[in-house]
Every structure is written in structure tokens, then in C-alpha cells.
Amino acid sequence: MGRVFDEGIVRDDQLDKFRTRLVSLKNYCYLDTKTTKIISSPFRRCIETAEIAREELSLDAGIITSELLTETDMGRFSGEIAKDLRGEFGSLIDTWMHYPESFIFPGGESYSKVDERVIEFLRYLRDDYHGKNVVVCSHADVIKMMVSKVLNQPFNNRRYFIVPNGSISLLTLPRGGEYRLEGVNMWP
């Protein structure tokens, strides 16, 4: 887990499921192939995911990268398996799992910094892309943070919803309104 590994996406049945989800998205939303934008984390697996989305959705746009969408810097937790961290970090793991809003990764960033990035990104979308379709490719914590913001729920509740690789969550921004969550992990 974490930034230490920027491996490409897994090329297995997840990929086929993702392509199927994209077809469902295409049928659900009107995505103008000429004007729909794609914004991605600069991490390779997200860019590869964005390239697949671009291809499956027949979009003309290039992929825009944004540092605001980067994965949480997990510092010394990066590259480790969660269950193995308990031996070294003890009860700090419980804080991470149950109270992430107050957690700072040893040698990494705090979730409050991730929160600042997410707020800035949502403002950027509102200001620069309001009324347009935008496909965003990012990481689980960033997506969960966005969903938490839109639902006005504490990020401490993040454990109660799952955002697997290749899942599609849909936010809308009605004219003059607030972001609205249309779905998390839409389409099987």
C-alpha cells in the first residue's frame, strides 16, 4: 500500500469488470466524446486506468494530471501490509483505522492534508469544469474523502464503504447547487 509502489494496474478479471462498468456509465450518462475531460492522479496505475476509460468511452480529450489527486503519503507505512504494521506501531494502527481524521502517518502526511487537497480539487472542478462531464481517476482514500465531503460525513466513517480498484462512483454538480452523490461502486 502507499506511494512506494507505483505499479501498473492489475491485468486480470478486474480489468474486464472495469470495462463493463465503463460501458454501463456510457449508457447511463451522456458523455460528449469531444468535450468530456479526464483528470487523473499522476501515478502510473491511475493514468493507465484513465487511458482505458478514454478508450472505452471514445473520448477525444487527453489526460490531465493533478497532484491534488495523488495517493495519501503513508510514510513508513508505505509498502507494508496493514497486519504486519501492528508489531512495529502497536495502538497507532487503531488510531489509523478508527480515527483517521486525527492521524498523521509516521514520515508521511496527515489526512487533514489529504482533506485540504480534496477540497481544493472539488473547488477546481466547480470553478473550471462546472456544467461539463469530467472523468476522475484517483485512489481509494482520495475518493472516500470526496464522498465523505459530498455526504457531509466525517472521514472517520470511511471504513463503512468500500472503493475497490476499477470501481465507479458518480458525483454530479447541478447548476447553482451543491455536489450530489449519485452512487458509489455503481454497476456490478
Does residue 110 sit in helix, strand or coil?
Answer: strand
Mean pLDDT over each residue of the chain, to the nearest integer:
91
The answer on pLDDT for 176 being more than 90 is: no
- Is-contact 173 125, C-beta < 8 A? yes
pLDDT in tens, 59-77: 999 999 999 999 999 999 9
Write out the H or E segment, with its range, that includes residue 83: helix 82-89
Whether 73 maps to a domain, the answer reads yes
Cell 450518462 sits at which residue? 29
Domain of residue 119 covers 13-183
The pLDDT value recorded for residue 1 is 53
Whether 99 maps to a domain, the answer reads yes
pLDDT in tens, 17-53: 899 999 999 889 888 999 999 999 999 999 999 999 9
Whether 85 maps to a domain, the answer reads yes
Whether 8 maps to a domain, the answer reads no
Whether 131 maps to a domain, the answer reads yes
Does residue 63 sit in helix, strand or coil?
Answer: strand
Give CA–CA dist 89/119, Å, rounded: 30
Task: Name the DSSP class of 107.
Answer: T
Whether 6 maps to a domain, the answer reads no
The answer on pLDDT for 81 being more than 90 is: no
| Banded model confidence at residue 5, pLDDT cuts 50, 70, 90 | low
The domain total for the chain is 1
The pLDDT value recorded for residue 131 is 87
Give CA–CA dist 38/151, Å, rounded: 23
State which of 20-24, 142-146, 175-179 shows the largest mean pLDDT.
142-146
The pLDDT value recorded for residue 153 is 94
CA-CA-CA-CA torsion sign (27, 28, 32, 38) = negative
- Is-contact 108 73, C-beta < 8 A? yes
> Residue 162 sits in a domain of what CATH number?
3.40.50.1240
In the chain, beta strands by DSSP E: 37-40, 63-65, 134-137, 170-172, 180-183
Whether 7 maps to a domain, the answer reads no
Whether 4 maps to a domain, the answer reads no
